[in-house]
Amino acid sequence: MTDRPEPRTDEDRPSSARRPWLLVGVAVLLVAGAAFAAGRFSAFGALSGGPNAADVGFARDMQLHHSQAVEMAMTEYRGTDDDELRTIAYDIATAQAGQSGEMYGWLVAWGVPQASDEPLMAWMTAGGHDHGGGGGEDATDAELRAAMGMASDEELARLREADGVERDCLFASLMIRHHGGAIEMIDAVRELGNDARVSQAADGMADSQQREIEALQSVQRRLGCSG
């Protein structure tokens, strides 16, 4: 009798073959993160007295912010020939997709809508505090997004159309600015928020995004990016 070969496991496959399947799993992370967070969030809320307007506003606005980061990271991941940038983009896309799912779950557990009629970052000026949110009473949605460090539609189009080092440098520049806007929001919720789980998650986001900023700045120097 001829021995049958053992079936190959994921560990046997090269990492380059496994990684695309992990990217497909981003959508799964969104759902799984929501369900898992909903189950454990109630305990944290009970310990800290429950979420306030800053916690809710942060969860809403940061989901929007993360969604654009995932879009830019996936554009770079698919197009770049730079191995370091491909790894950074992959890490951003998978981490922020998972965090978005968790924040979605928070809002479900709190019993509040995923969206609000309030302007972006309005929660950052609650109680007389001013963390740069709002951008003025007459600010447009596009101006508010820019104040959050987000890319414009024109910049996203340039990123999709650019190639080679030009695209790599543009991605690094846009993502550094994007992460900077996120860190401002994180600082605000750490001061204004009331829920222990939100504060813990915000600390993790701040650490990872600061490391990514430094990594992207190093890439800019290596590639000789201007501006």
In this predicted structure, which of 28-37, 63-72, 123-132, 172-181 has the lowest mean pLDDT? 28-37
CATH number at residue 87: 1.20.1260.10
Give the model's pLDDT for residue 44. 40
Residue 155 burial class via C-beta count within 10 angstroms: exposed 0-12, middle 13-18, buried 19 and up: middle
Measure the CA–CA gap between 87 and 24, rounded to whole angstroms.
16
**Average pLDDT over the chain, rounded to whole?**
84
Position 162 in a domain: yes
- Taking the CA of residue 162 as centre, how many other CA atoms within 13 Å lie in the half-sphere pointing to its CB? 20
Position 100 in a domain: yes
Position 7 in a domain: no
Give the model's pLDDT for residue 50. 85
Position 196 in a domain: yes
pTM of the model: 0.78
Closest CA to 55 of 150, 127, 123, 149: 123
Does the structure show a pLDDT above 90 at 74? yes
User: Structural domain tally of the chain?
Assistant: 1
Is residue 123 a contact partner of residue 57, using CB atoms and an 8 Å limit?
yes
Position 5 in a domain: no
Q: Which domain holds residue 72?
A: 30-123+134-223
Position 185 in a domain: yes
| Structure tokens that stand for 130 in this block | 């001013």
Position 97 in a domain: yes
191-215 pLDDT, tens digit per residue, is 999 999 999 999 999 999 999 999 9
Position 18 in a domain: no
Give the model's pLDDT for residue 91. 98
